[in-house]
Structure 1
Amino acid sequence: MNDLLHLLAEDAEDLAVISAALQDAVAKIGDITVEQRGRRVTVAFNRYRWEGKGGERVRSALQIGSVLGVQARNLRRGAKSAVIELLTLEFAPGEAPGGTITLSFAGDGDLRIAVECIDAVLADISAPWPTPRTPAHDA
C-alpha cells in the first residue's frame, strides 16, 4: 500500500490536481458528512486510479476544512444509498483568501462549499481493488 495517494490543496492549482485525481469517483449520498462544529465536509469516494496501471478503484476520503457554509442542489439528501458520480471540483474566488468550492456531479447535482480559505486533503484509505469498468466519456 505504498502507492496510495495523499494530496493537500492550499490554492486553486492544488485543488485542480485533486479534481483530476477524483474524476469519475463515485460515492453515496450517505458518504457525505457535514460537521458544522468542526467546520469541515468529508466525502468518502470509490476513486478510479487514473494514475495507476488502470482497472483499479480505491477507497478515498476528501476532507475540506475552514467551511463557512454548505449548499446542495439536485442531491436528494434523504436518499442515503443513492450513488453519485463526481465530474469536477472547482474553486470560485470570493473575498481573499476565501471563496466557494463546488463539487459537480453527473445528473446536474452539485455541492457548494463556502470556505474561509482552501484547505483540502485527499487520501486513499484502502488497498486498491480490480474493476472491470473503465470510465468512458463522450467525445
Structure 2
Amino acid sequence: MTQDATFEDGTAKPLRLVAMDIEDLQVLSALCQDSVFPATEMQWHRGKQRFGILLNRFRWEEIPKADRGKRTPERVQCVLAVENVQRVASQGVTQGDVDTILSLMSVTFDPDESGGGAVLLTLAGDGAIRLSVSELEVALREVTRPYAAVSGKVPDHKE
C-alpha cells in the first residue's frame, strides 16, 4: 500500500507570484498582510514605471490558527513590485525617515474605464500609498530564506 505525499515531502522554493487581475491580487494581498518595512525601502523608478518595496513578510501560511503559540513565527524578505506606474501619491507616510517602520495591511485595485486604475497599499495607522497604473501587474518575490520573527509573536489585530 502506498501513502499519499505530504506538503512536507516537497522541497521549499521561494515564492514568486504575479497578479494580473483583482482575484490574483486578493491572494497576493493576503500573503502581504502584516508585512513590515522601513520607509527608506520604497522606491519609484519613474523611467521604468516601476514601484518597489523590500518587505519583511509574515509567513501566515506557515502558522495555521490551531498551531499559533506552538510554532516559531517566521518572516521572509520579499520584493513587492508594481509595474506600469504613472504616478505615486501617499498619505501619512514620512518618506526617507530611517526610524519609520510601516506595516502593510492590504493591497487592492480600483479600476477605471481605460483598463488602468489605482493600486492602493493600505498601511496600519491611516497611512496609504496610491499608485496610478496604466494596467494591473503586481509581483511578489521572496529574496531571502525565512527567518524567526524578531518579535517572536504573531501579529494581533485586536489592539
TM-score scaled by length of structure 2: 0.83
How far is the alpha carbon of 1:95 from its aligned partner?
2.5
Q: Distance in 1 between matches of 2:102 and 2:115?
A: 29
Q: In structure 2, the residue corresponding to 1:59 is in which secondary structure?
A: strand
Q: Percent identity?
A: 31
Paired residue for 2:109?
91
The one-letter code matched in structure 1 to 2:17 is L
Q: Which runs of 5+ in 1 are unaligned?
A: none
- 1:71 correspondence with 2:81: no
1:102 aligned to which of 120, 143, 157: 120
- 1:62 correspondence with 2:72: no
Q: In structure 1, the residue corresponding to 2:140 is in which secondary structure?
A: strand
2:134 aligned to which of 116, 119, 122: 116
1:43 aligned to which of 41, 53, 56: 53
The one-letter code matched in structure 2 to 1:21 is L
2:26 aligned to which of 16, 23, 32: 16
Paired residue for 1:3?
13
Q: In structure 1, the residue corresponding to 2:102 is in which secondary structure?
A: strand
The one-letter code matched in structure 1 to 2:105 is L
More deviation in 122-131 or 48-57? 48-57
After TM superposition, the runs of 4+ consecutive aligned structure 1 residues lying more than 4 A away are: none
Q: Which runs of 5+ in 2 are unaligned?
A: 1-10, 64-70
Q: Distance in 2 between matches of 1:57 and 1:78?
A: 23
The one-letter code matched in structure 2 to 1:116 is S
Q: Distance in 1 between matches of 2:101 and 2:90?
A: 15
Paired residue for 1:126?
144
- CA RMSD in angstroms comes to 1.5
Q: In structure 2, the residue corresponding to 1:51 is in which secondary structure?
A: helix
TM-score scaled by length of structure 1: 0.94
Q: Distance in 2 between matches of 1:120 and 1:72?
A: 18
Task: Please identify the structure whose Cα radius of gyration is greater.
Answer: 2
